[in-house]
C-alpha cells in the first residue's frame, strides 16, 4: 500500500482529500498543527472510510521537527501539501506570519524530500496568482501579475520555489491552482469550519440562513458584470479532492511531463454573488437576509478558469454543479447546528 503524507489533512480541502485517498487504497499520514482545525475531524474521516488515518501534530515551519518526521517516514511515496495560512485580510495585517509559515513549511518539506529521496509533491496553489486576468477564461499560461495580498504573494513565491527546486533535484511537483472551493462531503461529517466570523461567501451564507449571523453583506454591486456583483468560479471540494488523487497517480505512474506541472482546478463557469445567493435560496427553500454594501478592498472583479488543460492533460473534470455545492454546504451547516445543540 502506498503511503501519502497529507499536510493540513484535518483542514477543509485536506480532510476531503484524505477520504478520497483512503477510498482509492492509499495509506495516509496527516501532519497538522491544528491552528485552524480540530482533532475530531480524524474521527469523522474514520466514520466515512472505516480507516483512522495516522496523525502527528506539529508545526511544519519548524525545520528540526519536519526533518525528524521525514527521516522516520522516508517510505512515503508522495506529499500533498495543504498546510498554510489562507485568510486574505489577515495576511495584510500580518504579512510576516504568512511569509514565515507558508514559505518555511514548503522549504522544510522540500529539504526533507531531498535528504530522504522522496520525489513527489502536490502543492495547493490558488487562482489568486493571476490577480485580475486580462483575458477570461484564464489559462495556466496567463501572466502572473503583482499580488493583491501577501497571502497571494506566498502562493506565487511557493510556485517559484518549486520551479527552481524541481529543476535542481530529482523531485517532481504538481501545483494545483484552485478557484473557489465550497460545499462539503455528502455525509455532512466533514466540511468547512471557519473559526469566528467567516471571510468567505458560502460559509457566511449558510451561517446567515441558520441564524448565526443576522445579515449577509454583498460586497459591491457596481462591478462591470451583468448584475453588478463580482464573479468567481465556484467548485465542489470533493471534485478538488479527487483531482489530488489523479495528480498523485500521475506522478507515481511516471506520467509527469515536466518537473513542475501546473493545472487550474475550476468548473470553467463563473457565478456572481447574486447567482450564488439565488442558487442557495432555490435549492434549500431558505430565504436569505442580505444587503448590498461597498466593495471589499482587494477583491477582483471576475475570474473563471479555462479548464481544458486539466481536463485533457490531467484527465480530470469537475462533476458537481452549483446545486450540489449549495445543498451539501447547507446539509453540513445543519449538521453542525444539530451537533452544537445536542
Ligand atoms: C479568496 C482568494 C483565494 C483564496 C480564498 C481563500 C483572491 C482573489 N482570492 O477568494 O485565492 O484561496 O479567498 O480564503 O485573493 N463576498 C461577499 N460577502 C461576503 C463574503 C464574500 O459579497 O461576506 C463576495 C466577495 O466579494 C467575492 C465572492 O463573494 O466576490 C467570493 O469571496 P470569498 O469566498 O471570500 O473568496 P475570494 O475572495 O474569491
Which residues line the pocket of ligand 1, CB cutoff 6 A? 86, 88, 126, 128, 149, 152, 180, 199-201, 204, 216-219, 230, 232, 273, 296, 299-300
Q: What is the pLDDT of residue 315?
A: 98
Mutate to test the pocket of ligand 1, among 11, 14, 87, 88 (most ligand atoms within 8 A of CB): 88
CA-proximal residue: ligand 1, atom 26 (nearest): 219
The ligand 1 atom nearest the CA atom of 127: 11
CA-proximal residue: ligand 1, atom 11 (nearest): 128
CA-proximal residue: ligand 1, atom 27 (nearest): 230
pTM score, two decimals? 0.98
Ligand 1 mean position to 56 CA, how many Å?
31
Q: pLDDT tens digits for 276-308?
A: 999 999 999 999 999 999 999 889 999 999 999
Q: What is the pLDDT of residue 298?
A: 84
Q: What is the pLDDT of residue 195?
A: 83
Instruction: Choose among 47, 81, 19, 4: nearest CA to 237.
Output: 19
**Domains of the chain (ranges plus CATH)?**
3-183+234-265 (3.40.50.720), 201-232+268-305+321-341 (3.90.25.10)
Q: Which residues of the chain have a pLDDT value below 50?
A: none
Instruction: Choose among 95, 75, 201: nearest CA to 157.
Output: 95
CA-proximal residue: ligand 1, atom 33 (nearest): 200
Ligand 1 mean position to 251 CA, how many Å?
31
Mutate to test the pocket of ligand 1, among 156, 296, 303, 329 (most ligand atoms within 8 A of CB): 296
Q: pLDDT tens digits for 202-232?
A: 999 999 999 999 999 999 999 999 999 999 9
CA-proximal residue: ligand 1, atom 28 (nearest): 201
Ligand 1 mean position to 48 CA, how many Å?
29
Q: Give the CA dihedral 121, 110, 62, 196, nearest 10 degrees.
A: -30
Q: What is the pLDDT of residue 148?
A: 85
Mutate to test the pocket of ligand 1, among 299, 303, 322 (most ligand atoms within 8 A of CB): 299
Q: What is the pLDDT of residue 238?
A: 99
Ligand 1 mean position to 201 CA, how many Å?
6
Residue numbers annotated as active site: 151
Amino acid at each position: 500500500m502506498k503511503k501519502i503524507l497529507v499536510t493540513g489533512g484535518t483542514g477543509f480541502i485536506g480532510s476531503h482529500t484524505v477520504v478520497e485517498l483512503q477510498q482509492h487504497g492509499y495509506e495516509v499520514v496527516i501532519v497538522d498543527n491544528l491552528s485552524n482545525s480540530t482533532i475530531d475531524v480524524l474521527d469523522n474521516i474514520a466514520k466515512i472510510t472505516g480507516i483512522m488515518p495516522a496523525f502527528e501534530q506539529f508545526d511544519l515551519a519548524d525545520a528540526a521537527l519536519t526533518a525528524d518526521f521525514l527521516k522516520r517516514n522516508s517510505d512515503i511515496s508522495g506529499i500533498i501539501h495543504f498546510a498554510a495560512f489562507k485568510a486574505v485580510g489577515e495576511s495584510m495585517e500580518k504579512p510576516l506570519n504568512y511569509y514565515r509559515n507558508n514559505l518555511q513549511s514548503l522549504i522544510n518539506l522540500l529539504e526533507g524530500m531531498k535528504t530522504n529521496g522522496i520525489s513527489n509533491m502536490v502543492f495547493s496553489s490558488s487562482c489568486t496568482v493571476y490577480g485580475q486576468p486580462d483575458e477570461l477564461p484564464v489559462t495556466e499560461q496567463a501572466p502572473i501579475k503583482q499580488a493583491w495580498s501577501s497571502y497571494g504573494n506566498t502562493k506565487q513565491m511557493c510556485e517559484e520555489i518549486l520551479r527552481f527546486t524541481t529543476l535542481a533535484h530529482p523531485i517532481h511537483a504538481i501545483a494545483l491552482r484552485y478557484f473557489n472551493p465550497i460545499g462539503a462531503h455528502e455525509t455532512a461529517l466533514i466540511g468547512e469550519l471557519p473559526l469566528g466570523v467567516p471571510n468567505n461567501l458560502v460559509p457566511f451564507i449558510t451561517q446567515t440562513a441558520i441564524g448565526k449571523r443576522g445579515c449577509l453583506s454583498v460586497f459591491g454591486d457596481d462591478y462591470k458584470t451583468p448584475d453588478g456583483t463580482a464573479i468567481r468560479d465556484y467548485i465542489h471540494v470533493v471534485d478538488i479532492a479527487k483531482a489530488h488523487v489523479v495528480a498523485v497517480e500521475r506522478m507515481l505512474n511516471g506520467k509527469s511531463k515536466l518537473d513542475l506541472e501546473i493545472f487550474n482546478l475550476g468548473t470553467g463557469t463563473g457565478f456572481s454573488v447574486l447567482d450564488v445567493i439565488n442558487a442557495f435560496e432555490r435549492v434549500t427553500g431558505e430565504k436569505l437576509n442580505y444587503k448590498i454594501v461597498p466593495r471589499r478592498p482587494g477583491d477582483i472583479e471576475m475570474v473563471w478558469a479555462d479548464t481544458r488543460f486539466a481536463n485533457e492533460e490531467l484527465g480530470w473534470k469537475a462533476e458537481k454543479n452549483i446545486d450540489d455545492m449549495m445543498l451539501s454546504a447547507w446539509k453540513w451547516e445543519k449538521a453542525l447546528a444539530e451537533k452544537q445543540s445536542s
